[in-house]
Structure 1
Amino acid sequence: MKKLGLAILCLLQFSCSSQATKKINGVSFVASREEVAQEHVDAVLAVHANHAAVMPFGFIRNISSPQIIHNTDRQWFGETKKGAQQYVDMLHKNGISVLIKPQIWISQGEFTGTLKMDSEEDWKLLEASYEDFIITYAELAEETQADIFCIGTELEQFVKNRPRFWSELIAKIRKVYDGKLTYAANWDEYTRTPFWGEIDYIGIDAYFPLSEDKNPTKDGLKKGWQKWKPAIAELSKKKGKPVLFTEFGYRSMNFTAKKPWLVDRHEAEVNLDAQVNATQAIFEEFWTEDWFAGGYVWKWFIAHEEVGGADDNRFTPQNKPAEKTLKEWYQKS
């Protein structure tokens, strides 16, 4: 009987250990005009994803404006609080954990990292507007028991110029949301982000340049990671925090790893193999590391059957060979 009890205890310990080391195998679940239906979630389950990032949006009219417009009836359903809640509820119903990741879109596609005010008055207005925006979704994260909440995405100049605001904002978020916190720093920003010690994950949008080759190989891309990986690991060790790739992914095109952050309508030739090689390389380099928590592939559209495919050179892996790579790694990690 004692031996049986010991065997059960060992089995439970092994099970708990396996659960503790389970990676966050996520998709960036793009906001849509529509509600999420079961068939949309089925496609996420089919690639063995266990997490999804839900991304409501706020909008800024121009790069110098301090006002963030959000949660209005002029936005797409999935970009609003009501829509984000419906998405979270459907994902949770299917056993998929959720990161709520509010994001900002600046008119003309201006990069959010350059958002910077010209006067103290405008800084104060931006801070008040951003706090209203982010607390709205922190409260939603608590109401829906979302698993992780992201306090911002690629806002380097805002963070750099107003560090006290961000520390105070984190404290305010903690008062309304009891879960884990992260921040999505751009790949060239994360080393200067000042508040990693105050949140739970070091979040990085992992668009690191890895290769200038037109058709990069997996081994060449793994070699390219050696320029960046040691510093990422060292920061994790220094701060005592796991690293989470709040976004990762590659376009299915030539030169995919030269400037992986490209989001324009650049019509480079479709290269499905390059996307597979880059996806395989990032999994091999990071998903086996104890200090690495996992990540969310960019992008995953809810209407699975209507997107991606062999003629698509955009980020989504859907209906491309890279989807199989994603599925294989998510199934085993």
Structure 2
Amino acid sequence: MTTLIERLGEPVCGMTWGWVGTRGTWATPAASDSMARMAEHAVTWTAIAYAAEQATAFSTDIPFDREPTVTDDEIVWAIRQAKSLGMKVVLKPVVNCADGTWRAHIGFFDWDVPNEPSWSDWFASYRTFILHAGRLAQAEGCEMLCIGCEMVRADSQEAHWRRLIADVREVYDGLVTYNCDKYQEDHVTWWDAVDVISSSGYYPITKWKQQLDRIERVVAASAKPFFFMEAGCPSRTGSPDLPNDWALPGEPSGAEQLRYYEAMLQACRARPWVGGLMLWDWPADLYDAADAAENDDYCPYGKPAGDYLRGAYTAWAEETKR
């Protein structure tokens, strides 16, 4: 099996930028400064991530060309800005529910029923959304396209995903990946259809070895390259034990985020088949460094984890060159 590092010639020393992609927040001086500050942390890959909103988990229309989603011009600006800073780009279009329901719960009857919302209806709309992103990614030379994120209930719709991926390859010739949710790596049955397996690695700080052992079996069986399309931890007490919970009560703590980063990077770098990390996440409107100690979100800017990351990413990249 060829690892992702072998295929790319480098690890994915990455960070997600710009989430959730609210219209008007990209292509601004503040956004430009934010991306420049991110690049200073030895970040060589970025996921340009934005969301389109369907009304509920049972809706089948995804109006990606309307507010609050960023415009095509803003997406193109972000891609070009990242490339001007020397970063490679994964374009990551994501669907969210406007009512706050997590996208993992989007779902319909297993088979199409007349006069009921269906998977066929939903995938028709989703296909339009993803193919539009694929054309943008092709035109702007994005190195990778992520065709979905944490769609747990949709994961079982194998035939729909295979048709979508085949259609994507008609408009985009770069690497195609799908970002499954944590603990779902061994439940996706169509990994052979993508170029790269990726997942959200929000694993408790004490469980990295156990989970990497499990994921390694999936990677070996599929013979596909792998990296974590999402991973990270809020700078908050308690978060290292439940890093996926962005609303977990706790006090701001740069030390706790640093402790998690150290454990995560050490565990991942010990596994040659892990092709890198696309950390979560760096906002388009970045807080002031002077306020970092009171910021308890995922971004490591101005925090101990940020300094650590710069050194760890630099070392990982240098190690690959030797």
Please give the TM-score of this superposition, normalised by the length of structure 1.
0.85
Please, what is the CA RMSD of the aligned residues? 2.0
Q: Name the SS of the counterpart of 2:210 in structure 1.
A: coil
Which amino acid counterpart does residue 145 of structure 1 have in structure 2?
A: G
Is contact 1:21–1:290 with CA below 8 Å preserved after alignment?
Answer: no
Of structures 1 and 2, the one with the larger relative CO (CA 8 A, separation 6+) is 2
In the other structure, the counterpart of 2:14 is 26
Matched, 1:315 2:308: no
2:172 counterpart of 1:177:
yes
Q: 2:75 aligns with which of 73, 84, 100?
A: 84
Matched, 1:270 2:252: yes
1:291 paired with 2:283, answer no
1:157 aligned partner: 153
Deviation readout 1:87-122 (Å, 9 max, x if unpaired)? 001111222100001111212321111110247252
| Separation (CA, whole Å) in 1 of partners of 2:7 and 2:28 | 28
SS in 1 for 2:145: strand
Question: 1:170 aligns to what SS in structure 2?
Answer: helix
Query: Are the structure 2 counterparts of residues 289 and 226 from structure 1 closer, same or farther at C-alpha, using a change threshold of 3 Å?
Result: closer
- Count matched residues: 300
Distance 1:66 1:250, change over 3 A: same
Quote the residue 1:50 is aligned against. Answer: 44
Quick one: distance in 2 between partners of 1:245 and 1:22?
A: 15
Structure 1 runs (4+) greater than 6 angstroms displaced: none
Query: 1:27: how far off?
Result: 0.9
**TM-score, length-scaled by structure 2:** 0.87
Separation in structure 1 between the aligned mates of residue 72 and residue 272 of structure 2, nearest angstrom: 35
Q: Secondary structure at the match of 1:309?
A: helix
In structure 1, distance between residues paired with 2:27 and 2:265: 31
Q: Which has the larger radius of gyration?
A: 1
* SS, match of residue 294 in structure 1: strand
Query: Which letter does structure 1 place at the counterpart of 2:48?
Result: V
2 CA distance for matches of 1:300 and 1:99? 14
Residue aligning to 1:252? 235
Measure how far apart 1:170 and its partner are.
Answer: 0.5
- How far apart in 2 are the matches of 1:257 and 1:329? 19
Query: Structure 1 pair 62/18, CA: closer, same or farther in 2 (3 Å)?
Result: closer
- Separation of aligned partners in 2, 1:268 and 1:244: 29
Change (3 A) 1:114 1:18: closer
**Structure 2 residue aligned with 1:105:** 96
Letter in 2 for 1:298: W
> 1:19/1:171 Cα in 2 relative to 1: closer, same or farther (>3 Å)?
closer
Is the 8 Å Cα contact of residues 56 and 81 (structure 1) preserved in structure 2?
A: no
Whole-Å Cα distance in 1 between the matches of residues 41 and 232 of structure 2? 15
